[in-house]
């Protein structure tokens, strides 16, 4: 039955894990027996790739994409169960563990690479905002009034001041703490107010909304974005039906310091979303956000006036914004971050909050511009004059923050190479194990985003490859180099697991020959297929999209073509294999940058380390990121063919004499991200953590 799974059913999940493992074990001999009888040159040349079967992948996928795993959100018990399931298969087949080496409990934890995570949330009951100001002159000046009705200064200076409180989550919220945003910290600020338009200082156009304003000791109020950023955000949102658009709009929603919904994250390509470069240029050099200008000039906080989308979220008690909204956690719980990823900002920033309707009205009550004028001016990207607000008006902000520890884990298994020297080099085959968890129920009540294709398909394809290699190794067929299988955590949260592996690797990444990544390899255009979303590209049966080798390594592309032509003879589609969309490549998404798929999955963190990459996918479809992405819709023959192809390519790479070389000329954005990764110290050999609190076992 398709329904939300209650907490008490977790024991059933563990029972189902054991049942499916037993079922797979019982069903494997028949498939293995068939494969063992097929002795071909391809089987010898490609490391037992012919042993990969549709049946084993179907058994694994029906478990991993079941309702009982609740969409494998990271972090969650469903994700932990999926990680244990993968680890149990690797242990059964005898792959070498690549995870924790100390303080482990049982045979499965050594396959897990832990990541410490933390969630910081605002405690609404302990948080308060208030405005102290003269009472409004005339009628209509109560809480929530439209503002601007009374002449500025119309109330006598001797009139008693009045303090009005505003509820956290309903009237205001803190903006940091989400994907791509700085960590959430407590807010304690109090001061007079200045309005500074959209608040951005842009050097190349000599825009400075603070001319004539003294912000020292004050709170800066801003509304809207510079027109260039507003246009870019609209373009990202227009592509929300596609893979890049959805995550790009999500990333844009965090902003540089959070308050302005789209400023800085748009310039930070390389996370999930691969947002295009910021049109304002380099942060801290070419432009300053309001929060950054405030920090440099003595302001104490920034208040951003909510836009339509933010007001809508505030009105939804279950939606939440930034650090925690009214009504508690959403279906998938609070947002978590990896503390080890947190770095000092490019330049300091003051805290930022978003003001809802009632607080906005109170801020502009009796001022030269009303709340209505400010709100609609921002929505229309109109230039708005800066001004100081009434000297007697003072805003006080207090946001209390509570931290909750969490955890995630990559799963790592290794087929060791047989060459005494080359076994210290690696081919890394990767896919992401997580998905997006629960959602609002469909008409039939189903609310689990099962993630059968995204990325149950890549996950079980790798399992089948690992079993085939292990079976061959048991019979004496080993590659010269080692082959490392990496099931990444948190790809949906910003490529977290692959970043963790690349930033804190357990061995020298110079020993990685290539990364072959699989993400969504299970869907094709079947009979009667249609998709109203023109940004989606889905392959025909027997076809696969290959992304990366044309960009990063001609040598790798030649190997893929040679193996494919001699083995599965798939149609290799390079539509997304570009960083510069043209008439025939990646030209469907928001102009001018297309879907930017090259930046959108775990291979990109390997590319940032100077490693040749190839990303295999069958493309996007109407069930992407929906509860309708279920295992009954998978083309298992396609998934088998792609998996055999990737297995064969990996085997050849693991055995050939030389290594694929990077192209002499790489895309500007990739070069920039490679430089940033180097400056941030990525790739420093780091021992794998011992199991952290709550780690599955």
The pLDDT tens digits of the residues spanning 272-302 come to 445 577 899 999 999 999 999 999 999 999 9
What burial letters (b/e) apply to 69-78, b meaning 16+ CB within 10 Å?
Answer: bbbbbbbbbb
Three-state DSSP state, 589? coil
pLDDT value at residue 274: 52
pLDDT value at residue 158: 63
Structural tokens at position 640: 């088998």
pLDDT tops 60 at residue 239: no
Determine the Cα–Cα distance for residues 515 and 373; give it in Å rounded to an integer. 53
Same domain, 209 and 73: no
Determine the Cα–Cα distance for residues 317 and 130; give it in Å rounded to an integer. 21
Q: Which residues contact 634 (CB under 8 A, 6 or more apart)?
A: 58, 61, 452, 453, 457, 522, 523
pLDDT tops 70 at residue 697: yes
The model's pLDDT over 345-372, given as tens digits with 9 standing for 90+, comes to: 889 999 999 999 999 999 999 999 999 9
pLDDT value at residue 240: 45
Half-sphere exposure of 38 (CA within 13 A, CB side): 13
Average pLDDT, integer, range 103-123: 96
Terminal CA-CA length for the chain = 28
Flag the least confident range among 314-323, 338-347, 387-396, 619-628: 314-323
pLDDT value at residue 249: 33
pLDDT interval class at 255 (50, 70, 90): very low
Average pLDDT, integer, range 591-614: 93
137 in a structural domain: no
pLDDT interval class at 488 (50, 70, 90): very high
Structural tokens at position 246: 């959805």
Q: Which residues contact 387 (CB under 8 A, 6 or more apart)?
A: 194, 195, 367, 368, 369
Average pLDDT, integer, range 253-257: 30
Q: What percent of the chain has pLDDT over 70?
A: 81
pLDDT tops 80 at residue 607: yes
Looking at per-residue confidence, does 564 or 26 come out higher? 564
Give the DSSP letter of residue 481: S
The pairing of beta strand 543-547 with beta strand 613-617:
antiparallel
How would you class 96 by CB atoms within 10 Å of its CB: exposed for 0-12, middle for 13-18, buried for 19 or more? middle
pLDDT value at residue 682: 98
Same domain, 49 and 180: no
Report which listed range, 41-55, 593-607, 639-653, is most confident: 639-653
pLDDT tops 50 at residue 118: yes
Average pLDDT, integer, range 652-672: 96
pLDDT tops 60 at residue 154: no
235 in a structural domain: yes
Number of CB atoms found within 10 A of residue 563's CB: 23
pLDDT value at residue 224: 95
Q: Which stretches of 554-688 are assigned E, i.e. beta strand?
A: 571-573, 613-617
Same domain, 261 and 371: yes
234's enclosing H/E stretch is helix 227-238
The model's pLDDT over 182-193, given as tens digits with 9 standing for 90+, comes to: 778 999 999 999
695 in a structural domain: no
**Domain ends where: 399, 428, 446?**
399
Mean pLDDT of the chain: 86
The model's pLDDT over 192-213, given as tens digits with 9 standing for 90+, comes to: 999 999 999 999 999 999 999 9
**Domain ends where: 349, 366, 399?**
399
pLDDT value at residue 549: 98
Looking at per-residue confidence, does 318 or 90 come out higher? 90
142 in a structural domain: no
pLDDT value at residue 656: 96
Q: What percent of the chain has pLDDT over 90?
A: 73
Looking at per-residue confidence, does 243 or 78 come out higher? 78
pLDDT interval class at 326 (50, 70, 90): very low
pLDDT interval class at 646 (50, 70, 90): very high
597 in a structural domain: yes
What 3 state SS string does 82-136 have?
Answer: HHHHHHHHHHHHCCEECCCCCCCCCCCHHHEEEEEEEEEEECHHHCEEEEEECCC
Phi first, then psi, for residue 394 (nearest 5°) are -135, 135
**Helical axes 458-474 vs 636-655, angle rounded to 10°:** 50
**Domain ends where: 345, 370, 399?**
399
pLDDT value at residue 668: 92
What 3 state SS string does 262-301 have?
Answer: CCCHHHCECECCCCCCCCCCCECCCEECHHHHHHHCCCCE
Flag the least confident range among 11-25, 265-279, 474-488: 11-25
pLDDT tops 90 at residue 316: no
pLDDT tops 80 at residue 68: yes
670 in a structural domain: yes
pLDDT value at residue 238: 63
Same domain, 383 and 531: no
pLDDT tops 70 at residue 612: yes
Determine the Cα–Cα distance for residues 566 and 42; give it in Å rounded to an integer. 8
- Number of structural domains (the chain) is 2
pLDDT value at residue 233: 81
314's enclosing H/E stretch is helix 308-315
CB 253 within 8 A of CB 181: no
Structural tokens at position 334: 């609070």
CATH code of the domain containing 548? 3.40.630.10
Same domain, 344 and 467: no
The pairing of beta strand 287-288 with beta strand 219-222:
unpaired
Same domain, 187 and 66: no
pLDDT value at residue 312: 86
pLDDT tops 60 at residue 666: yes
The model's pLDDT over 406-458, given as tens digits with 9 standing for 90+, comes to: 999 999 999 999 999 999 999 999 999 999 999 999 999 999 999 999 999 99
Same domain, 357 and 414: no
Structural tokens at position 102: 């100390």
Same domain, 525 and 612: yes
pLDDT value at residue 589: 79
pLDDT interval class at 18 (50, 70, 90): very low
Number of CB atoms found within 10 A of residue 617's CB: 31
CB 655 within 8 A of CB 662: no
pLDDT interval class at 172 (50, 70, 90): very high
Same domain, 482 and 382: no
pLDDT value at residue 512: 98
pLDDT interval class at 157 (50, 70, 90): low
146 in a structural domain: no
Same domain, 184 and 262: yes
Domain limits at 206?
Answer: 167-399
pLDDT value at residue 318: 52
379 in a structural domain: yes
pLDDT tops 70 at residue 529: yes
pLDDT tops 70 at residue 664: yes
Same domain, 174 and 195: yes
Number of CB atoms found within 10 A of residue 504's CB: 20
Average pLDDT, integer, range 222-250: 65
Same domain, 263 and 210: yes
Determine the Cα–Cα distance for residues 267 and 112; give it in Å rounded to an integer. 33
pLDDT value at residue 45: 75
pLDDT tops 90 at residue 26: no
Largest CA distance in the chain: 97
């Amino acid at each position: 039955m398709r329904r939300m799974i209650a907490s008490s059913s977790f024991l059933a999940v563990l029972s189902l894990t054991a049942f499916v493992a037993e079922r797979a074990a019982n069903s494997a001999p028949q498939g293995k027996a068939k494969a063992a009888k097929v002795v071909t040159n391809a089987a010898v040349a490609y490391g037992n790739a012919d042993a990969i079967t549709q049946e084993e992948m179907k058994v694994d996928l029906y478990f991993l994409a079941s309702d009982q795993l609740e969409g494998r959100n990271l972090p969650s018990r469903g994700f932990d169960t999926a990680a244990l399931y993968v680890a149990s298969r690797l242990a059964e087949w005898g792959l070498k563990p690549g995870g924790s080496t100390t303080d482990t409990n049982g045979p499965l934890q050594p396959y897990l690479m832990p990541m410490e995570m933390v969630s910081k949330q605002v405690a609404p009951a302990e948080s308060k905002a208030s405005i102290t100001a003269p009472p409004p002159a005339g009628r209509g000046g109560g809480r929530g009034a439209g503002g601007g009705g009374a002449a500025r200064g119309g109330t006598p200076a001797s009139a008693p001041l009045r303090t009005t409180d505003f509820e956290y989550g309903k009237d205001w919220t803190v903006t940091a703490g989400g994907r791509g945003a700085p960590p959430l910290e407590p807010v304690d600020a109090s001061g007079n107010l200045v309005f500074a338009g959209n608040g951005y200082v842009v050097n190349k156009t000599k825009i400075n909304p603070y001319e004539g304003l003294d912000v020292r000791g004050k709170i800066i109020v801003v509304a809207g974005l510079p027109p260039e950023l507003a246009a870019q955000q609209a373009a990202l949102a227009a592509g929300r039906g596609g893979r890049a658009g959805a995550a790009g709009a999500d990333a844009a929603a965090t902003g540089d310091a959070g308050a302005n919904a789209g400023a800085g994250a748009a310039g930070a390509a390389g996370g999930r979303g691969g947002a295009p470069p910021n049109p304002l240029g380099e942060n801290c050099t070419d432009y300053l956000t309001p929060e950054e200008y405030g920090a440099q000039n003595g302001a104490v906080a920034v208040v951003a006036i909510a836009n339509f989308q933010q007001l809508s979220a505030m009105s939804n008690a279950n939606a939440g914004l930034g650090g925690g909204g009214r009504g508690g956690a959403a279906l998938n719980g609070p947002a978590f971050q990896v503390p080890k990823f947190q770095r000092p900002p490019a330049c300091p920033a003051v805290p930022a909050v978003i003001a809802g309707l009632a607080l906005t009205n109170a801020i502009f009550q009796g001022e030269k511009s009303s709340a209505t004028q400010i709100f609609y001016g921002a929505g229309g990207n109109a230039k708005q004059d800066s001004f100081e607000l009434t000297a007697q008006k003072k805003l006080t902000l207090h946001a209390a923050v509570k931290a909750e520890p969490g955890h995630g884990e990559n799963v790592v298994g290794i087929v060791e190479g047989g060459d005494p020297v080359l076994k210290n080099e690696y081919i890394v085959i990767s896919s992401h194990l997580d998905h997006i968890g629960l959602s609002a129920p469909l008409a039939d009540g189903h609310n689990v985003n099962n993630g059968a294709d995204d990325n149950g398909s890549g996950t079980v394809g790798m399992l089948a490859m690992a079993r085939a290699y292990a079976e061959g190794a048991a019979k004496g067929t080993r590659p010269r180099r080692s082959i490392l299988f990496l099931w990444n955590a948190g790809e949906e949260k910003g490529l977290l697991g692959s970043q963790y592996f690349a930033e804190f690797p357990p061995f020298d990444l110079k020993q990685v020959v290539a990364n072959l990544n699989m993400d969504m390899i299970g869907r094709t255009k079947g009979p009667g297929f249609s998709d109203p979303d023109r940004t989606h590209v889905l392959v025909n049966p027997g076809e696969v999209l290959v992304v990366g080798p044309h960009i990063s390594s001609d040598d790798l592309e030649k190997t893929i073509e040679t193996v494919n032509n001699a083995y599965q003879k798939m149609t290799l589609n390079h539509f997304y294999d570009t960083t510069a969309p043209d008439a025939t490549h990646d030209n469907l998404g928001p102009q001018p940058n297309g879907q930017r798929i090259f930046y959108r999955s775990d291979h990109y963190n390997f590319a940032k380390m100077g490693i040749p990459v190839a990303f295999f996918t069958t493309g996007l479809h109407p069930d992407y990121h929906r509860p309708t992405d279920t295992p009954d819709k998978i083309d298992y023959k396609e998934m088998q063919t792609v998996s055999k192809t990737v297995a064969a390519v990996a085997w050849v790479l693991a055995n050939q004499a030389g290594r694929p070389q990077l192209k002499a000329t790489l895309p500007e954005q990739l070069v920039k991200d490679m430089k940033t990764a180097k400056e941030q110290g990525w790739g420093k050999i780091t021992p794998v953590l011992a199991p952290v609190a709550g780690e599955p076992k």
